Amino acid sequence: MPGTPYRRRLGDRKEGRLLRSYPAYNKMTPFLMKKRSDASNYFQDELEVTQVDRWLRQKRAEGYKGLGTLHLFIAAYIRTIACRPALNRFVSGQRVFARHDVDILMTVKHSLSDASDESSIKVRFKQTDTIFDVYRKMNAEIDSVKAQNGDNGADNFANNVMKLPRLIINFVVWALKVMDYFGLIPQSILDFSPFHGSMIITDIGSIGAPPIFHHIYDFGNLPIFLALGIKQRRLEMDDEGKIVERKYVRFTATTDERICDGFYLATSLKYLKHYLNNPQLLETPPEKVEQDIF
């Protein structure tokens, strides 16, 4: 169906379209592994960022104040989705869907102190977005949350629900899970839900910590949790036998294996690292956006 607008069909959800041509074995896996915690895969890798840091410093000098590794990883992930669309699938109601947009989530502390509250943010991207689009959209949302001081949709919803008696809270949670299974959660809730999106990312390297293997939530449909760690300096020998200093950043990911097979995921990781190592490719939109299977 390339070149023609997709019309929503029976069985599709607000967030995405049902994969009707998905092989029967793959369609069966959500019935065998009903929870995301049953289907979680964990891996870790590292990226040599000596040259990347020079590029980031150059862009900050050009006016992109605060442009950093977090923006780069998000932009590289979006670009990878543009050519590897299965990464943007999700499982809901024991069915596999292709997500319409790229929704990135993260948690933001209002200030760097133990007493500071946290808020979740969700930023919507298109597969054609550049790293400058990522920089602009992420910073605008983070600044908005900090200015509101915990007055966004997710915080307001949680504050209102937690005023109820415990039995009623349990009923509300049960009702949300049933509605989620059948795709009946209102769009107004999906727009701020921290449990529905393409990926959740955390940069704990910004507080001097190594990356962790974070679980992915059984509620909602987030298929990937990515964690970035602190940058490390190493003394290594170059091709000419000279000792040089290089910088690395480690990252970990937890993925829902039901959205694609291991070969597809491993190949997609190569694409991701290619864009991370060549950030200049992220300055312009992709020439083509691949469509997922129908």
Domain range summary for the chain, segments of one domain joined by +: 16-281
Could you read off the pLDDT of 81-108 as tens digits, one per residue? 999 999 999 999 999 999 999 999 998 8
pLDDT band at 1 (very low <50, low <70, confident <90, very high): very low
Could you read off the pLDDT of 237-256 as tens digits, one per residue? 888 889 999 999 999 999 99
Look at 111 and 92; give whichever has higher pLDDT.
Answer: 92
Rounded Cα–Cα distance for residues 65 and 254 (Å): 30
Could you read off the pLDDT of 176-201 as tens digits, one per residue? 999 999 999 999 999 999 999 999 99
Q: What is the mean pLDDT of residues 111-125?
A: 81
pLDDT for the residue 240: 85
Rounded Cα–Cα distance for residues 249 and 56 (Å): 14
pLDDT for residue 115 is more than 70: no
pLDDT for residue 172 is more than 90: yes
Neighbours of 130 (CB within 10 A): 17
pLDDT for the residue 8: 87
pLDDT for the residue 149: 67
What is the CATH architecture of 16-281? 2-Layer Sandwich (3.30)
Q: List 96's β-bridge partners, or say none.
A: 91
The contacts of residue 127 (CB under 8 Å, 6+ apart) are 78, 81, 82, 85, 102, 286, 289
Integer angstrom CA distances of residue 163 from 21, 149, 152, 160, 279: 45, 19, 17, 6, 47
